[in-house]
Amino acid sequence: MVKLLKFFAFATFFVLALIYFVPKQSAYYAAEKEARKYKVVLSGEEIVENAFSLELNHSSFSYSSIESATIGSLNVKLFGLYNAISASDIRLSSVAKAFVPLRIDEMKVTYGVFDPLNALFSARGEFGALEGKFNLKDRNVSVILKPSPLMSSKYQNTMREFKKNEKGEYEYDKIF
């Protein structure tokens, strides 16, 4: 029993030390280079390396050379078994104003090896609150939206894409 406890203590120490000492900025730049292949660019960011995470402040998000959003704070935690990206103070481009409210207060994306086929996400903002998952194998996104009064009244064209369920929430499913 003592040997097993020592093994888990050393294994935990090794994993934590590996996460602590990994060059997070270099890993970020490698991921940024890979994302450019998919026309996704994060620019103008101020990078702050913490012990177990990487924080990006005041960044601009572009897709296909179109500035899509500005992100106040983005926190990346990569632990191997559980990974999370949290963003706050997101402002969408004015191009999206016809479809959705432009302010997103917070957003979180998580992925873990205990559910390796699904990436889970949630967001809260002027549109209300949403939760969803993206199935990596089937490339299917499922979203449940609890719309705000603003979303329900002003963005009815967008709301038509959702189906209302028996709980009064709105569902959206699409395969990419």
Angle at 85 between CA 126 and CA 158, to 5 degrees: 30
pLDDT at 9 over 90: yes
The pLDDT value recorded for residue 121 is 98
Q: Let me know if residue 45 belongs to a domain.
A: yes
Would 10 be classed as within a structural domain? Answer: no
Residue 4 lies in a domain: no
Least confident of 13-22, 84-93, 117-126: 13-22
Q: How confident is the model at residue 18 (pLDDT cuts 50, 70, 90)?
A: confident
Q: Residue 96: its pLDDT value, please? A: 92
The verdict on residue 104 lying in a domain is yes
16 part of a folded domain: no
Query: Does residue 1 lie within any of the structural domains?
Result: no
Domain presence at residue 66: yes
- At 133 the pLDDT is 97
d(CA 9, CA 124): 38
Contact 55, 74 (CB under 8 A): yes
- Structure confidence by residue, pLDDT tens digits, 38-72: 999 999 999 999 999 999 999 999 999 999 999 99
Is the confidence at residue 10, as pLDDT, over 90?
yes
Q: What is the pLDDT of residues 98-146, one digit of tens each?
A: 999 999 999 999 999 999 999 999 999 999 999 999 999 999 999 999 9
**Half-sphere exposure for 82 (CA within 13 Å, toward CB):** 2
pLDDT of 134 reads 97
Domain count, the chain: 1
Cα atoms in the 13 Å half-sphere on the side-chain side of 60: 8
For residue 145, give its domain range: 24-175
C-alpha dist (Å) from residue 139 to 120, 134, 142, 176: 13, 7, 10, 5
**Quick check: is 11 in a domain?**
no
Residue 155, pLDDT > 90, answer yes
pLDDT for position 99: 93
Strand blocks (E) in 64-127: 66-78, 82-92, 103-112, 118-125
